[in-house]
Structures are given as C-alpha cells and as structure tokens.
Amino acid sequence: MRPLALAPQTLPTLRPQQFLRCAAQSGFQRVGVRILQGSPRNRPDDFPAAVRGANEIPELRAILDGEGLAVVDLEFVLLDAETPVDAYRPFLEMGATLGARYLVTCSMVPDPAQAAEKLQALCRWASEFDMSVAVEFLRYTAVKAVDDAVTLVRASGAENAFVLLDCFHLHQAGDRPENILAYPASYFPYLQLCDAPGPPNPDDEEVMRQARTERLNPGEGVIDLAGIIRALPPELPISLEVPNLVRTSQIGEVAHAIRLRQDAEKLLREIDAP
C-alpha cells in the first residue's frame, strides 16, 4: 500500500498540535502542516489550523517525534504582485525545523513573467532548506489548470519546482487523466486525493466553498479517481485533503479521519488489484 498523509485542511478547526495528535490516533504516519495561511499579512489568530509563530515549533517538533509522524508538506504560500518573496523566509525556517519536504504555493500574480520570477526566488529560498516547491492550481487563481501550472514551473527554470495535483481542483478545472499524461510523471511528486459530489461548478465562489468545507471521501463522488491514479506512477505518495464540516460535526475529527483513511485504502486496493 502506498503511503498516505493527512492534510491539515481536512480538519481546519483544529490547532496544529491537536491536528498532529488526531492524525496519529487515526493511523497516519505522514502529515502536512499549515505553517502559513497564504500571506504574511493574514492574522494567524484568524486561522485555527495555522501555526501562530516560531514559539510553537518546539512543541510541534516534540509531538512529531513522540507520535512518529513525518511532515510531507507545508501549506501554503500565496504569491502575489505586492509581497516580496523574502517575506516568506521565516516560515520556511520554521518548516525546515519540522523536516518538511515540500512547500505548497499558489499564484495570484497576473503577469506570467513576474510570476515565474517570484516562483524562482521562492525556490531559491526553499533549496537552502532542502525543500522543493509544489505549485497548486486552483480555478479562482492565476494558475487555473494543469497546463498553467506546468507552464509556470517551466518558466521559473527552478529544478526544485513541481506541480501539485489536487483531485478536487483538477476536476473543477475540467482536466482529465489525459491532461496529466501529456507531461512527464516527474512533474508530479504527490497527489492530493478526495472526491466531489457533482460536475464542475461554474461559480468560482461556490467552488471555493466546496473546496474548503464540503469535499467527499474517495469513492463517494463523481471524479474519475481511478483514471487519475492510473495516470501516475504506482508508488506516488498520496495526501488526503477532505474537509467536510457537516460530517466532522456529526462523528468527530478522529472518526472522520479514520473513515477517510479506510475509504482511501479501499479505493487503492481496488485500483491496484491485478
């Protein structure tokens, strides 16, 4: 069975310390950490799942070590036209202490050349901490689909820049498995797995709401998850990002995470069966 990680957005109301303990109780050995909520200008106290400062890092490191958890990625840096890239360095330093491999970024920079320059600079900072940068595409940002993300990564010229595939946003962009197959598999270091209740929604505001509060467990919706997974290397790591606030309120965070893991494992067994 390929390794599964739990993404912090799955349980967005938990503080990072609570999230890590919940992930361990739910049978996960790999996690993401919300080190930043997009921009340094955002108030950490407004986002429970985000780390509030460097003073929390020793406690988080102790929990990771005590629970035997490894950090896959840090979420998330929102590149914009105004914020200098070096403003993100303190967050990279904190994440490096936690042993993260990837930093997730999205771009709101409308000019392609400026976006590539900013991504290149972010990748330089990340390389100092032995990290790579994963560009996530979202339909309501400047990087809307697989093609856009690959174009940005290539334009940056950074060897440690990759593309993060999130099944929800892949679906909402209208991309299909063949869009993934158009590029070398090396562009895609891991997959964020979830399902969606219906076809792509034309309303970006509704897409954003569903992405943050109403995703479905793998196998519960309409996304061609088998096709997406088969388009990628069989050993590719998978992160589960499935916020579902109604379900979590009904059964609790640990039960939601356990059920999510079990549903993902069931789907993978079916896909990997000879």
Q: Residue 33 has what pLDDT?
A: 96
pLDDT band at 49 (very low <50, low <70, confident <90, very high): confident
Residue-level pLDDT at 250: 97
Averaged pLDDT, 207-221 = 95
Closest CA to 131 of 107, 109, 153, 100: 100
31 φψ region: left (φ > 0), alpha (ψ -120 to 50), beta (else)? beta
For residue range 117-163, list pLDDT tens digits in order: 999 999 999 999 999 999 999 999 999 999 999 999 999 999 999 99
In this structure, of 31-40, 169-178, 195-204, 241-250, the range with the lowest mean pLDDT score is 31-40
- Report, as an integer, the average pLDDT of 20-34: 97
pLDDT of residue 45: 65
The mean-pLDDT minimum among 40-44, 178-182, 191-195, 198-202 falls in: 40-44
Neighbours of 78 (CB within 10 A): 20
3 state SS of 70: strand
The predicted pLDDT at position 66 comes to 97
Q: How confident is the model at residue 36 (pLDDT cuts 50, 70, 90)?
A: confident
pLDDT at 38: 75
DSSP SS3 for 132: strand
Band the pLDDT of 212: cuts 50, 70, 90: very high
| Domains of the chain, residue spans | 4-272
Q: Which CA distances in Å does 75 have to 106, 108, 158, 273?
A: 10, 16, 20, 33
Residue 239: name the closest of 6, 2, 1, 41 by CA.
Answer: 6
pLDDT over 70 for what percent of the chain? 97
> At residue 272, does pLDDT exceed 90?
no
In the predicted model, is pLDDT for residue 37 greater than 90? Answer: no
pLDDT of residue 48: 80
Q: How far is CA 211 from CA 9, 53, 103, 194, 225, in A?
A: 9, 26, 19, 10, 16
Q: Does 43 score more than 90 pLDDT? A: no
| The pLDDT value given to residue 2 | 78
Architecture (CATH level 2) of domain 4-272 = Alpha-Beta Barrel (3.20)
CA distance 70 to 252: 24
pLDDT exceeds 70 at position 46: no
